[in-house]
Amino acid sequence: MKFTKMHGLGNDFVLVDCRCEKLEGIDLPQLAEDVCDRNFGIGADGLILVLPSDKADARMQIFNPDGSEPEMCGNGIRCFAKYLYDTMENKKELLSVETKAGIMLPAVMAEKGQAAAVEVDMGIPQILNTYDLVLSTYDFKIHEVSMGNPHAVIFVDDLDAVNLQEVGPKIENHPHFPNRTNVEFVKIIDRKHIEVKVWERGAGETLACGTGACAAVAAAVTEGKTDQEVIVTLPGGNLDIEWNRDDKHILMRGPAETVFTGEYTL
């Protein structure tokens, strides 16, 4: 099976073009677990499949390292868009991608014939509930946001004081979230800059999460903590997030990179 290894701010993926590679009869959730394993597989935060679509340029299917299937992945769709752009014969900068969260329209910013960065309209954030969640000795104020997938946003004064490996899985799997949730701890730097650490549902701690960055900004703007255009600093780098309150859509801009290609024995 031929694959391409890609990443967006260190959030890395194994991408397989199923328009060329035929995976009929393959247990895809198990394949995701196998290839994402960093000791016995290729190693990644997710498996992305490029599939044909009668509604868009292509369809994106993504699996987490535990075999679960998220509704959307912000860094993943930027990598997906870069792959489409870099490999298409008749290049176009505005692409359409069918996802579980609907049709997404990534816009490619190209350099020397290849995609260097991608802007994606991530749709309209849904600001849901705000409540206190008590975990043994911890008491967190949760801002629940949907970006097509679930997020629990928590504002803190000191990110270094957060034991993400301890509290991340407890919040992800809390009974309040029957479908589990992504978790973002957010520090406000100033009105145009925030810092975020992420615990991703089904993947654990990652270097970046595009939908998580969007959810963090949506919660911050709603709470009056930031302006509408914000630089989001994640462990893997920066994303530019803009929430247009007129049409209520949120835009994400950031890099996507190809690391290497290879073949994996099924």
How do residues 61-89 score in pLDDT, each as one tens digit? 999 999 999 989 999 999 999 999 999 99
Which among 18, 36, 209, 214 is annotated as catalytic?
209
Please name the residue that has the structure tokens 């994640």: 234
Known catalytic membership, residue 36: no
173 is in an annotated binding site: no
200 is in an annotated binding site: yes
Given a cut of 50, the residues of the chain with pLDDT beneath it are: none
244 is in an annotated binding site: no
pTM of the model: 0.92
Known catalytic membership, residue 209: yes
Distance of alpha carbon 114 from alpha carbon 235, whole angstroms: 25
Q: What is the pLDDT of residue 244?
A: 86
Distance of alpha carbon 100 from alpha carbon 169, whole angstroms: 24
Tokens found for residue 49: 């499949």
Q: Which domains does the chain have, with CATH numbers?
A: 2-118+255-263 (3.10.310.10), 126-248 (3.10.310.10)
- 205 C-beta neighbours (distance < 10 Å), count: 15
Q: What is the pLDDT of residue 135?
A: 86
User: Would you say 95 and 106 are in contact if contact means Cβ atoms under 8 Å apart?
Assistant: yes
Amino acid code (one letter) for 109: M
Q: What is the pLDDT of residue 242?
A: 98
Q: What is the pLDDT of residue 136?
A: 78
Q: What is the pLDDT of residue 245?
A: 76
Which among 18, 73, 79, 214 is annotated as catalytic?
73
257 is in an annotated binding site: no
Q: What is the pLDDT of residue 98?
A: 97
Q: What is the pLDDT of residue 257?
A: 97
Q: What is the pLDDT of residue 103?
A: 94
